Structure 1
Amino acid sequence: MPPTIKDDIGLPPGELFIGGAWVAADGVREILDPATGAAVASVAQAGPAETQLALAAARRAFDDGSWSGLAPRERGRILLRAAEILRGQAEELARLESLDTGKPIMFTRMVDVATTIDQIDYYGALAAGIEGSVRRTGRPTFAYTRREPIGVVAAITPFNFPLILSSIKIAPALAAGNTVIHKPAEETPLTALRIAEVLHEAGVPDGVFNVLPGDGSVGETLVRDPRVDKIAFTGSTAVGRGIAAAAAETLKHVTVELGGKSANIMFADADLEAAINTAISGFVFNTGQFCMAGSRLLVQRPVYDEVVAALAGAIGHVPVGDPFDEGTVIGPMAGPRHLAKVRAFLDKAGQGGAKVYGGGPVHDGPGFWAAPTVLADVSQDSTFVQDEIFGPVLTVQPFDTEDEAVALANGTQYGLAAGLQTTDIARAHRVAERLRAGIVWVNGWALLDAALPFGGVNQSGYGREGGPEGLDEYLQTKSVLISVA
């Protein structure tokens, strides 16, 4: 058989990266191809000894000033060099991310890899602007502020966007002068190890960036150890609460981007064809494994039946299949436990009077597959509306007035993202102001850029990632006053 795009993917070393070197460990985990369930790589798993080694390396590298003592512009140059190296490896990196996660290759190229390079580029450029300011006071002093790194950062990331959700933490943390210990998700560590190779090649000093694949005990140690000064976490709300509580024991800085149940409001005046396409892409993107997925669709009653019919007719035609097929839009889920969670929800899909469209078997072979499913006429108190499913499941609810739409949209514990589809610009501004979410999209979904911050309110977390606000999360301010009397 001729070789395919899936053949000959260059795997990173299957070891830990600590103190600028590859380190073996007693524990090993097999990494599965989500499309087939077959093992494709073996990666060392950090235990207590390796975790302590990384903590010591990161603390030493920060305290000796080899990175924090560099001029911010020089740190920025190194990050820009890393972005350039990644740009030259973009295709290989996209294939590695698809192999690791099951994402369609079209999206890993256009979204995951492109966004990662953009984020590192952005913070590499932004680093040169890190500076304090002179302040006028009522005292006989020369007063100024300094913007300084926080210290050792533990970046703990999930399985759904390994590249993007890692680089959005690593790039600003390094630009600010911190050292980093990255604990990637157990299931998807491959691109984290590749990033370690690239940063090392770009000139990041030994110990400044470390990667510890492993289970939750690694993260727990990082959260509780006093040598760590900040936790940057993306994941579930339940885990995020525990991390925030544990980090409080040593008064660490914390940012947590947590669960979401984002509402997409479709008004009757919207461009319906475009709005329906947006609604579909908003919930099937990354097989629904997206904390900002548009998993709740609210439709104004005059067009409700038309929209539900269009969704019911369309979802069976969204291409599902091999992630390495250029035409695939929906790939497999990242692993068996995530699939089991989604199937547990779908087993109850017909309860409570909801109308079910789609779903059912999607693939006869091995792997971790879930079919896109639409649930119409769902009540606001339904678990499908209130709980994060993290799979390709869309609920659809009708509304009459703008006030009702806002109340429904804000009517969950979450507040990560929201959207509205309308041709009325005054309504767009008016409703966007009232939605309790960290980011609001109008006539689109998942429109993200390195220059703009995102993050949650309510049970979706706190802190911001992206933009200059994302850099601020890794800096602290010191005031200096020199008496001139």
Structure 2
Amino acid sequence: MTEFGNVIDGVLCGSSGDGSDLVEPRTGTAYGRAPLSRAPEVDAAFAAATRAFETWRRTTPGERQAALLAVAAEIEQRRDEFVAAECRDTGKFPGLFETEELLPVTDQIRFFAGAARLLEGRAAGEYVGAHTSMVRREPLGVIAQIAPWNYPFMTAVWKIAPAVAAGNTVVFKPDEATPASAILLAEVCAKHLPPGVVNVVCGDRETGSLLSSHRDAAMVALTGSVRAGSAVARAADLRPVHLELGGNAPVLVFADADVARCAELVADAAFYNAGQDCTAPARVLVHEDVHDELVAALAAEAAHRIAAGPGREGGYAPLISQVQLDRVAGLVERRGSAEVVAGGQVEEGPGFYYQPTVVRGAGQKDELVQEETFGPVLTVQPFATEREAVALANDVRHGLAASVWTREAGRAMRVVADLDFGITWVNTHVTTAAEMPHGGFKETGGGKDLSLYGLEAYTRIKHVMVAWA
């Protein structure tokens, strides 16, 4: 059994609490143990981060840039270690993880390294006679950060890189099921950043509660469920929170869309990482004229992956745990009169595999439509008019991502304007860019990752006024 530890003040260390087993989703067997950190470890991490902040906050953006560029370079040099760590914890395919996550993430670190030198503010000026006003952007302090299990490495970078680039220090908690890549990242950071700038404490919900309520946390940032976001917001009390809380993304397909291309790209996005993605397509809303054609095309895409087999490139990846497998299977089993046209089965054998699934005929108020499945499941619903399509898309509590498929530019712009989602794609889905914000509306929360907006989220604004005499 591999033993993992926390990284506090630049040193790998153990915990005074119990440990938890780490289970490989591909096999369902335990391979290691990680700490369940409690108050002593959390307090030590915050103390280290607080000490480090007094120096790190006064470094220049250029100095922070150089450190982050060195981190990115070492991640690329040690990519095989990161691939092995992440894929063992999550069951992802190594080749896809490297190309779709690790390499883009190193680019995102480099983006934040450069963006640290480009923070913007109003020009200094005289808004009161004989007084000059200016705006300072300053780091907040020690940031408590909590990550989910679906994208452990990517989420760690999306949180740590902008916070550190802005001059903050971090106490970061990975999900208890997937700590390996975050620990490895912290070890790399410890080589290129001063001790205490990046601290990782492993643990469960109790550990997360200790982070969220800690007196030394200047902000609490979470990517996770609505339930977890509500708990964090309560624990943070009046301190700022940065929340990204889930998706249930609609896909609006109009009659003039390229159905074959749409089916291919939507299936790729929906079934990647077993659908455990807050921006993954979940609800396909298609014009009645091409409804049957698209259902058949999506079913064929699912069948192709099922035929390739579980755990194989070209096939499909496992869900993270037995709990998640049971949850996804239960949602499909309780579908009522809706019809499963592809998949819909738990895979026999080791691991937590659920077949890529397409369901037609679900009603708008059905649980399968209203709840975020977070599994490899697509529902398909018909619509007759543009207004109906938008109404169906918006009629859920989440507001993270959506996509529109049409060849008509005017329609695309009308629909994008009416959709209540923070990310809206046209004729594509899940494509990201470091320069563009990632975040949503409604119960998804208002936090933005990536882009200058993601960097600014970890700063505070101070007005300075100087009298001339």
TM-score of the superposed pair, with normalisation by structure 2: 0.96
Q: Which of 311, 316, 320 is 1:330 aligned to?
A: 316
Q: Which of 358, 374, 390 is 2:374 aligned to?
A: 390
1:341 matched to 2:332 = no
Q: Which residue is equivalent to 2:233?
A: 244
In structure 1, distance between residues paired with 2:196 and 2:394: 44
Q: Which of 209, 212, 222 is 1:220 aligned to?
A: 209
1:245 deviates by 2.1
1:446-465 equivalence runs, <5 A: 446-465=430-449
Q: Which residue is equivalent to 1:61?
A: 52
Secondary structure of 1:186's aligned partner: coil
Deviations 1:237-293 (A, max 9, x none): 111112112212xx2111100021110011110111101112212321210111111
1:365 deviates by 1.9
Taking structure 1 as reference, are residues 401 and 466 closer, same or farther at Cα in structure 2, changes over 3 Å only? same
In structure 2, distance between residues paired with 1:311 and 1:223: 42
1:305 matched to 2:289 = no
1:14 matched to 2:4 = yes
Paired residues, number: 466
Q: Which residue is equivalent to 1:468?
A: 452
Contact 1:289 1:392 in 2 (8 A): yes
Contact 2:42 2:201 in 1 (8 A): yes
1:81-230 equivalence runs, <5 A: 81-130=70-119, 132=121, 133-202=123-192, 204-230=193-219
Deviations 1:192-245 (A, max 9, x none): 00100111122x111111001101111111111221010110000111112112
Deviations 1:381-416 (A, max 9, x none): 111110111111111000011111111111111110
Q: Which residue is equivalent to 1:6?
A: none
Q: Which residue is equivalent to 1:49?
A: 40
Contact 1:321 1:331 in 2 (8 A): no
Query: Which residue identity does 1:114 align to in structure 2?
Result: L
Query: Which residue identity does 1:245 align to in structure 2?
Result: R
Deviations 1:437-476 (A, max 9, x none): 0000111110111111011111111121110000010011
In structure 1, distance between residues paired with 2:437 and 2:202: 27
1:52 deviates by 1.3
In structure 2, distance between residues paired with 1:181 and 1:102: 26
Does 463-472 or 122-131 show the bigger shift? 122-131
Taking structure 1 as reference, are residues 420 and 186 closer, same or farther at Cα in structure 2, changes over 3 Å only? same
Q: Which residue is equivalent to 1:427?
A: 411
Q: Which residue is equivalent to 2:224?
A: 235
Does 229-238 or 333-342 show the bigger shift? 333-342
1:442 matched to 2:433 = no
Contact 1:94 1:112 in 2 (8 A): no
Query: Which residue identity does 2:328 align to in structure 1?
Result: V
Deviations 1:299-328 (A, max 9, x none): 1011111111222233111155565x4x24
Secondary structure of 1:210's aligned partner: strand
RMSD after superposition = 1.6
The answer for unaligned runs of 5 or more in structure 2 is none
In structure 1, distance between residues paired with 2:405 and 2:2: 43
Contact 2:421 2:440 in 1 (8 A): yes
Contact 1:240 1:256 in 2 (8 A): yes
Does 311-320 or 392-401 show the bigger shift? 311-320
In structure 1, distance between residues paired with 2:246 and 2:31: 30
Query: Which residue identity does 1:50 align to in structure 2?
Result: E
In structure 1, distance between residues paired with 2:386 and 2:63: 51
Q: Which residue is equivalent to 1:314?
A: 301
In structure 2, distance between residues paired with 1:296 and 1:364: 27
In structure 2, distance between residues paired with 1:400 and 1:363: 36
Contact 2:171 2:198 in 1 (8 A): yes
In structure 2, distance between residues paired with 1:154 and 1:336: 29
Query: Which residue identity does 2:319 align to in structure 1?
Result: M
1:41 deviates by 2.2
Query: Which residue identity does 1:156 align to in structure 2?
Result: I
In structure 1, distance between residues paired with 2:412 and 2:80: 38
Question: Aligned residues: percent identity?
Answer: 38
Q: Which residue is equivalent to 1:7?
A: none
1:273-312 equivalence runs, <5 A: 273-312=260-299
1:364 deviates by 3.0
Contact 1:261 1:295 in 2 (8 A): yes
Contact 2:263 2:301 in 1 (8 A): no
Q: Runs ≥4 in structure 1, deviation > 6 angstroms?
A: none
In structure 1, distance between residues paired with 2:321 and 2:107: 28
Secondary structure of 2:420's aligned partner: coil
Q: Which residue is equivalent to 1:80?
A: 69
Query: Which residue identity does 1:476 align to in structure 2?
Result: R
The answer for unaligned runs of 5 or more in structure 1 is 1-10
Contact 1:95 1:108 in 2 (8 A): no
Contact 2:269 2:280 in 1 (8 A): yes
Secondary structure of 1:461's aligned partner: coil
Taking structure 1 as reference, are residues 22 and 12 closer, same or farther at Cα in structure 2, changes over 3 Å only? farther
In structure 1, distance between residues paired with 2:430 and 2:58: 37
Secondary structure of 1:357's aligned partner: strand
Q: Which residue is equivalent to 2:353?
A: 369
Deviations 1:98-145 (A, max 9, x none): 111011223211112122212111101111223654233222123221
Q: Which residue is equivalent to 1:8?
A: none
Query: Which residue identity does 1:477 align to in structure 2?
Result: I
Contact 2:403 2:429 in 1 (8 A): yes
Secondary structure of 1:283's aligned partner: helix
Q: Which of 34, 39, 50 is 2:30 aligned to?
A: 39
Query: Which residue identity does 1:155 align to in structure 2?
Result: Q
Taking structure 1 as reference, are residues 155 and 282 closer, same or farther at Cα in structure 2, changes over 3 Å only? same
In structure 2, distance between residues paired with 1:221 and 1:92: 30
Deviations 1:317-370 (A, max 9, x none): 1155565x4x24421111122112112212213x1x211122344533211111
